[in-house]
């Protein structure tokens, strides 16, 4: 397979390729660099039969291919991130030759440098909140209310039960949303920047409880432990929500260089 595409992983100031020698990228080859204007792009040569535009459109629909590519892309970025700040590229950024990559490094050098400055010494953490206890809470209150009401026919009892159930559901929803906002506000206090992602659908998470917060936080590296402890404390204060913490991540959600390079 003739490699005439160049997959770009990340842009950084400099990178030592020695620790990356064992890393295999999306195309199974090793990575190399393209340098210009004091910046370095970490790249891999890829064949257009698999990574050309048409092939990519097809392959991105193939879950196995997508997963392998996402993990390989992340694997390289994560390894490079061990060496210092980087601007990760979105999956499937493919150029046709080194000269074009060098031109981008030169033309947008100022943007990349300012992004690198914002990211230096910082990592991304993710927090997701699920409205976990909602159905149980409403069921309980409905049963209690129905059972404790003497007299009245079965129909009236049913209506009352149904009304209580709906009220309880509405209240529970309002409370969990308020809790999620409080949690996000509290965690934002630790972060240099925050981003709120679209909540993941239950079909994707495999968790039936609806996700009501999917946020990313850019933290000074030294604050990771403190942040994790805060998440644990907030989870205890808000038992109706289930919190999940992920990270530290390379700063995918915060690498926007401003202007058209902005994220999400």
Partner 1 sequence: MSSQHEEEPVLVPTSVTSPRQSPRPAIRTERIALVDLLDRVLAGGVVVSGEVTLAIADVDMVRVSLRALVTSASALIKAGDDEEVPGQ
- Binders of partner 1 among residues 119 to 178 (CB under 8 A) are 124, 126, 135-136
Residue with smaller CB distance to partner 1, 21 or 63:
63
User: Which residue of 29, 74, 113, 184 would you call a contact of partner 1, by CB under 8 A?
Assistant: 74
Residues numbered 75-104 forming contacts with partner 1, rule: CB under 8 A: 87-96, 100, 103-104
Using CB under 8 A, pick the residue from 1, 70, 156, 178 that binds partner 1. Answer: 70
Choose among 240, 236, 230: nearest CA to 174.
240
State how far the Cα of 171 lies from the Cα of 166, in Å rounded to an integer. 9
Residues 6+ apart with CB under 8 A from 121: 85, 220, 221
Using the rule CB under 8 A, is 263 a contact of partner 1? Answer: yes
Give the number of other Cβ atoms within 10 Å of residue 151's Cβ: 6
- Judged by beta carbon, residue 157 or residue 184, the one nearer partner 1 is 184
User: Taking a C-beta distance cutoff of 8 angstroms, is the pair 161, 152 a contact?
Assistant: no
CB of 159 to partner 1, least distance (A): 24
Calculated CA dihedral for residues 92, 93, 96, 100, nearest 10 degrees: 180
Do 154 and 219 form a contact (C-beta atoms < 8 A)?
Answer: no
Shortest approach of partner 1 to residue 8 CB, angstroms?
8
Rule CB under 8 A: which of 187-246 touch partner 1?
Answer: 197-198, 200-208, 214, 216, 224-225, 227-229, 231-232, 235-236, 242-246
Does residue 2 belong to the site contacting partner 1 (CB under 8 A)?
no
């Amino acid at each position: 397979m003739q490699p005439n595409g160049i997959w770009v992983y990340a842009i950084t100031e400099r990178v030592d390729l020695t620790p990356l020698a064992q890393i295999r990228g999306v195309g199974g080859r090793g990575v190399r660099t393209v340098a210009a204007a004091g910046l370095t792009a970490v790249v891999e040569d890829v064949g257009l039969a698999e990574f050309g535009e048409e092939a990519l459109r097809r392959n991105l629909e193939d879950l196995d291919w997508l997963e392998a590519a996402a993990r390989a892309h992340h694997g390289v970025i994560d390894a490079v991130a061990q060496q210092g700040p980087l601007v990760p590229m979105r999956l499937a950024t493919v150029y046709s030759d080194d000269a074009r990559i060098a031109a981008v490094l030169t033309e947008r050098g100022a943007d990349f440098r300012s992004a690198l400055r914002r990211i230096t010494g910082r990592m991304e953490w993710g927090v997701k909140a699920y409205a976990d206890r909602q159905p149980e809470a409403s069921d309980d209150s409905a049963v209690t209310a129905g059972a404790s009401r003497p007299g009245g026919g079965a129909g009236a009892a049913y209506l009352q039960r149904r009304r209580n159930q709906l009220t309880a559901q509405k209240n529970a929803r309002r409370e969990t949303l308020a809790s999620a906002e409080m949690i996000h506000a509290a965690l934002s206090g630790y972060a240099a920047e925050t981003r709120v992602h679209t909540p993941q659908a239950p079909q994707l998470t495999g968790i039936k409880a609806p996700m009501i917060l999917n946020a990313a936080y850019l933290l000074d590296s030294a604050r990771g432990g403190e942040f994790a402890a805060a998440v644990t404390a907030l989870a205890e204060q808000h038992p109706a929500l289930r919190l999940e913490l992920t990270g530290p991540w390379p700063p995918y959600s915060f690498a926007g260089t401003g202007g058209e390079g902005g994220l999400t």
